[in-house]
Structures are given as structure tokens and as C-alpha cells.
Amino acid sequence: MASSFRSERLMYCGLEDTPRDKAFIHSILSDRTSSENATNYLVKPASSADVDSFMRGFREAFLGVLVCIPNPSAPQTPSIIGYVNLQHTTHPHHRSCTMSIRIVPAAQGRGYGSEAIKWVLEWGFLVAGLHRVSIGCFSFNEGARRLYERLGFVVEGRTREVAWKNGGWHDCIEMGMLEGEWREKYFKVEG
């Protein structure tokens, strides 16, 4: 596994059909708390079929990469700490994608999620020519909402009672960033 796709502390690698990458996806799917917070899947003990199905979806995404910390003593095996992906929300010519991100609990709260989101936004707007990127979080996930607002996402709406989790209904906060907003915040040309 090697990659020239880098940000300050992180590198971004394609998902491979290897025991190592499969084990990582299995561990992600088996993390009940993060899965409840982050996904609308039916959270249950993960099987190899679930891993295969996740990997298939990931490969079909517009962008699907593992978030890794480079390992200078073993450059071919960086430490995998999460994933991030972009999927089209509608027909590709509208250039609109939605983002999903997970950082493993041991690596959370150290700025890696922010760094990875900024990298994906730059890739999306500058490399892939997107016009908007959206992201959603459940109403109980105040930390994620704070983070996305800090990074420049704007709250656009609320899908009411869209998720059944642990015996109750929860809303989804829908957020988005337009290309022009990204340029204004991250890509100012010096005058």
C-alpha cells in the first residue's frame, strides 16, 4: 500500500482486497457505538458477507479512501485510522456528492478527522470539479455537528425522525458546502 495522496500528517490509500484491509473494515463494522453514531445501517455483529458488501459499496463510490498515518519504518504498511468517501447524491452532471467519514476511537479528537475532511473537500472541489458537498449527522451527535460547522458546512435542513436507534426516533441534520463557500474559506487568492 503506497500513496502520494497526502495532507500534513495523513495519507489516503485505496481499499485493497487484502486480509489487512478486510480486517480493518470488520473492526469498523464491529464498533457498535461509532456505527450507531455514524451510519443508518442496521447495527449487528459483522460477518464476512457484511464486509464484502461494505467493500463493494466503497469501491463503487465516487471516492473511497482509507485514512492512514504514514509509517516511516514500513512505508508499505501505514497505520489505518479511518475512511472517508464521497458518493453522488444525484446524476453526476450535477456535481453534488455526500461525504461519510469514520475515524477509529483510538485516533479521535486529535484533529485527524478535520484534516481528512479538508483534504477531501480540496480533492472534491479542485481535482474532481464538484459544485457541492453535503454531510449529515444525527441530532444527538452534537460533536460531529460542531465539527462540520467549524469546517464551514452550513445547516440546510433537518430530516425529522429518519432514524430508529436504541428504542427511539432521531432526526438527521443536513449540512452542505458550495464550491464558492469552500473557495472563500480555504482558497483565497492573495491580492
Ligand X SMILES: CC(C)(COP(=O)(O)OP(=O)(O)OC[C@H]1O[C@@H](n2cnc3c(N)ncnc32)[C@H](O)[C@@H]1OP(=O)(O)O)[C@@H](O)C(=O)NCCC(=O)NCCS
The residue ranges that bind ligand X (CB under 6 A) are: 34, 37-38, 101-103, 108-114, 137, 141, 143-144, 146-147
Alpha helices in the chain (DSSP H): 19-30, 32-38, 48-60, 112-122, 142-150, 179-186
Residue nearest to ligand X (CB): 113
81 vs 130, beta carbon nearer ligand X: 81
Q: Is 7 exposed, middle or buried (0-12, 13-18, 19+ CB in 10 A)?
A: middle
Query: In angstroms, what is the minimal distance from the CB of 169 to ligand X?
Result: 17
- The string over 23-49, giving b where at least 16 C-beta atoms fall within 10 Å of a residue's C-beta and e elsewhere, is ebbeebbebeebbbbbbeeebeebeee
Least CB distance to ligand X at residue 35 (A): 8
Measured CA to CA, the distance from residue 175 to residue 135 in angstroms comes to: 5
- Closer residue to ligand X, CB minimum distance, 141 or 189: 141
- Identity of the residue, 94 or 110, whose beta carbon is nearer to ligand X in the bound complex: 110
Name the minimum Å distance from CB 56 to ligand X.
21
Instruction: Kindly tell me which of 61 and 103 has the beta carbon lying closer to ligand X.
Output: 103
User: What amino acid occupies position 119?
Assistant: W
Q: How far is the CB of 173 from ligand X (least distance, A)?
A: 9
